Amino acid sequence: MSRRPHRALAAVCTAAVLALASAAPAHADVIRDQQWALEALHADRAWQTTRGQGVTVAVLDTGVDADHPDLAGQVLTGRDLIGFGAERGDPSWALHGTAMAGIIAGRGSGPGRAGGVLGVAPEARILPVRVILESKDPARAKARKTRGSALADGIRWAADNGADVINLSLGDDSESAHPDPGEDSAIQYALSRGVPVVASAGNGGEKGDRTSYPAAYPGVIAVAAVDEYGAHASFSTRRWYATVSAPGVDIVVANPDGHYYIEWGTSAAAAFVSGVVALVRSAHPGLDPAQIKKLLADTARDAPAGGRDDARGYGTVDPVEAIEAGYRLRPADPNAQAAPTGHRGRYFGAGPARPPADDRTVNWAAPLAGGLGAALLAVSVVLWRGRDAAGRR
Count up the domains in the chain and report the number. Answer: 1
Which pLDDT value is given to residue 342? 38
Residue 71's contacts (CB-CB under 8 Å, 6 or more residues apart) are 64, 65, 98, 101, 102, 105, 106, 107, 126, 254
Residue pair 242/204 in contact (Cβ under 8 Å)? The answer is no
212 is catalytic: no
Asked if the structure places residue 217 within a domain, the reply is yes
Asked if the structure places residue 174 within a domain, the reply is yes
Asked if the structure places residue 214 within a domain, the reply is yes
Q: Which residues in the chain show pLDDT less than 70?
A: 1-8, 13-29, 177, 333-393
Which pLDDT value is given to residue 224? 98
What is the distance between the alpha carbons of residues 157 and 60, in angstroms, rounded to a whole number? 10
Which pLDDT value is given to residue 15? 54
Asked if the structure places residue 360 within a domain, the reply is no
Residue pair 103/96 in contact (Cβ under 8 Å)? The answer is no
Asked if the structure places residue 79 within a domain, the reply is yes
Which pLDDT value is given to residue 388? 26
* H or E stretch covering 263: strand 260-264
Which pLDDT value is given to residue 10? 73
For residue 159, with 0-12 CB atoms within 10 Å meaning exposed, 13-18 middle and 19 or more buried, which class applies?
A: buried
Active site residue: 92, 109, 200, 267, which one? 267
By C-alpha distance, which of 99, 159, 112, 122 is closest to 47?
A: 122
Residue pair 177/7 in contact (Cβ under 8 Å)? The answer is yes
Asked if the structure places residue 114 within a domain, the reply is yes
- pTM, full prediction: 0.83
236 is catalytic: no
Which pLDDT value is given to residue 12? 72
Active site residue: 6, 68, 96, 232, which one? 96
Range of the domain at 174: 7-355+368-390
Alpha helices for the chain (secondary structure H): 29-33, 36-40, 43-46, 95-105, 140-146, 150-160, 181-192, 266-283, 289-299, 319-326, 372-376
The CATH number of the domain where 210 resides is what?
Answer: 3.40.50.200
Which pLDDT value is given to residue 383? 26
96 is catalytic: yes
Which pLDDT value is given to residue 334? 53
Which pLDDT value is given to residue 14? 63
Neighbour tally for 2: CB within 10 Å = 7
